[in-house]
Chains A and B, each alone.
Chain A
Amino acid sequence: MKIHLTSVFVDDQAKALRFYTEILGFVKKHDVPVGEQDRWLTVVSPEEPGGTELLLEPARHPAARTYRDALVEDGIPLAQFAVDDVDAEYERLSALGVRFTQRPVEMGPVTTAVLDDTCGNLIQLASQPR
């Protein structure tokens, strides 16, 4: 068994695609219309085009908002992405206007930071020591 796909609920798929590709730097993998207004929309890391896909899933379920609002209030991220250097990503993304709820901190063996994906979720960045 392996993890092939995971998902985040997003307020607006078009906006999410822009953020996850143009800002974070992922690339679009699948974009298939589903129903009248939704898309099966996934992105992958350019470093691993055949790797785990992230599904940008429309947050249509009424419980999704309550769930995400409660997590965001407490600063809890919904997903974690690995980067080589959290401090460098913090500088790069801050310059692009990304809002961090946690600036980089050394947390024992890893350095982490938490950012707002502008689509309703917090995302954690983590780097292993070199």
Chain B
Amino acid sequence: MADDLFKALADSTRRTILDELAERSGQTLFEICARLSMRHGLGISRQAVSQHLAVLEAAGLVETRREGRYKFHDLNTAPLRRIAERWLVPDTPDPEDSTP
């Protein structure tokens, strides 16, 4: 699972997809493709975007949801917490810093 997560984050196009889903969750494949093309100048095929989404979904960062005839992609940032918990030291108030 951790390997899937780091692999998913190791690609700039996939990080851009996450940026766009962070702005608005619940996008169709068409909207994701349009944002990559029109806002980022990324000329990649719909099939390639689908493959990127599959990698993000395997890592748990994207979830797909069917609603009637439509399919939407939602962002799930929960797996990123595992990265934070693995290495980052929780913020503890330091009395030295808080005194002016």
| Min CB–CB distance B68 → chain A (angstroms) | 9
Decide yes or no whether A22 CB sits under 8 A from chain B: no
Number of B interface residues, CB 8 Å? Answer: 15
Would you give the shortest CB distance from A76 to chain B, in whole angstroms?
A: 5
CB nearest neighbor in B for A69: B69
State in angstroms the CA–CA spacing of A106 and B29 once bound together. 17
**Is there contact, CB below 8 Å, between A73 and B31?**
no
Determine whether the beta carbon of A105 is less than 8 Å from that of B31. yes
Contact A75 B39 (CB under 8 A): no
Rounded to whole angstroms, the CA-CA distance of A7 and B3 in the bound complex is 48
B16 contacts across to A, CB distance below 8 A: none
Which residues does chain B contribute within 8 Å of A74, judged by CB atoms?
Answer: 28-30, 46, 71
B88 proximal to A (CB < 8 A):
no
Chain A nearest CB: distance from B21 CB in Å?
A: 12
Q: Are A108 and B28 interface neighbours, CB within 8 A?
A: no
How distant is the Cα of A122 from the Cα of B72 in the complex, in angstroms? 14
Interface assignment of B70: CB less than 8 Å from any CB of chain A: yes
Contact status A112-B34, CB under 8 Å: yes
Query: How many A residues face the partner with a CB closer than 8 A?
Result: 17
Contact indicator B27/A102 (Cβ below 8 Å): yes
Please, how many angstroms separate the alpha-carbon atoms of A112 and B35 in the complex? 11
Pick from B24, B30, B38: contact of A76, CB below 8 A.
Answer: B30
Q: A69 to chain B: which residues have CB within 8 Å?
A: 69
In the complex with contacts A74-B28, A108-B39, A101-B34 CB distance below 8 A = no
Are B69's CB and A114's CB within 8 A?
A: no
A72 interface residue, CB < 8 Å from B?
yes
- Chain A 71-96, CB-CB to B under 8 Å as 1, else 0, gives 01111110000000000000000000
Nearest CB on A from B76, distance (A)? 20
Residues of chain A lying within 8 A (CB to CB) of residue B71: 73-75
Task: Give bound CA distance, A112 to B38, whole Å.
Answer: 11
Chain B residues within 8 Å of A76, by CB: 28-30
Q: Which residues of A contact B (CB under 8 A)?
A: 69, 72-77, 101-103, 105-108, 110, 112, 114
Q: List 5 additional contacts besides A74-B46, A75-B29, A76-B29; criterion CB under 8 Å.
A: A75-B28, A77-B30, A102-B28, A105-B35, A112-B34
